[in-house]
Structure 1
């Protein structure tokens, strides 16, 4: 294998890893330093507007979504520079989720890629177990890649998404309540479902 082929293969692997993990997590606004996750109105407003009488778990579900949104914001900040330096990822993600993000960052650094553009989310809590010894939650997120980009900073060009990659994709995440706050513990980006 030539040096050029090796570099291209490394970049492709880094892109695949970053796309896979990003499918369910990150949100940002196009190219600026504003790294707030963009939750579609249905997820953010419905969680906030549910009354405790309609859903006794509404407050906890809103807290899960807030933790997920904060983790997404920090993840996108890391992916914009291919480094977790200066982020608060460890405040919102732990265990498998944090490991996946760190692995993606290492691949991105090796390939010289960063993330630009916007990734929109429509997340909801699909399961909540407050009776478990460690309360747990499962989230489903419809991620929209329409304005998402992977940028090759060495070649100074956008790397297009694979042609088979759907622009709207369902992924799941898991969270646990530790010391009174929710943390994202796992990410399943395989999904395979469009939304």
Structure 2
């Protein structure tokens, strides 16, 4: 999911990506809202994100099977750029460069795990 999300955020659109193969429901809607806002504000992302995901809950017996993944997203090498000028836009002051994020994933009929909910806590460092 992260590879496809990164592709989308680099161009402010999910067109030409496989984001829908890995994200659905609330997560996909949230990503699409982000992309629309980015396009409206003439911004894209560059650089790389680093992660430290960990499955904290697994419900293999649930229908469909679900899991909760806690992640620490490192933004220190991730930049927002203004596409009209090419200039970097600083992150909001006080926002930690390492942020806690939580994803809910569900196993679909084809056996693929898809992110259905995703929340990044921009106020909580990890």
Q: Secondary structure at the match of 1:121?
A: coil
How many pairs were matched up? 125
Tell me how far apart the structure 2 counterparts of residues 181 and 172 of structure 1 sit (CA, whole Å): 19
Alignment of 1:36-115 (within 5 A): 71-115=1-45
The SS at the match of 1:73 is helix
Root-mean-square deviation (CA, aligned residues, Å) is 1.0
- Residue 163 of structure 1 and its aligned partner are, at CA, apart by 1.5
**Higher strand proportion (structure 1 or 2):** 2
Q: What runs of 5+ residues in structure 1 fail to find an aligned partner?
A: 1-70
**2:116 counterpart of 1:167:** no
Give the distance between the partners of 2:73 and 2:12, measured in 1 at CA: 21
Q: Deviations over 1:79-108 (max 9, x none)?
A: 101111110011111000100111011001
1:189: which partner in 2?
A: 120
The 3-state SS of whatever aligns with 1:162 is coil
Query: Which structure 2 residues correspond to residues 78-157 of structure 1 after superposition, within 5 A?
Result: 78-157=8-87
Q: Where do 4+ consecutive residues of structure 1 move more than 4 Å?
A: none
Q: Distance in 2 between matches of 1:82 and 1:193?
A: 26
TM-score normalised per structure 2:
0.95
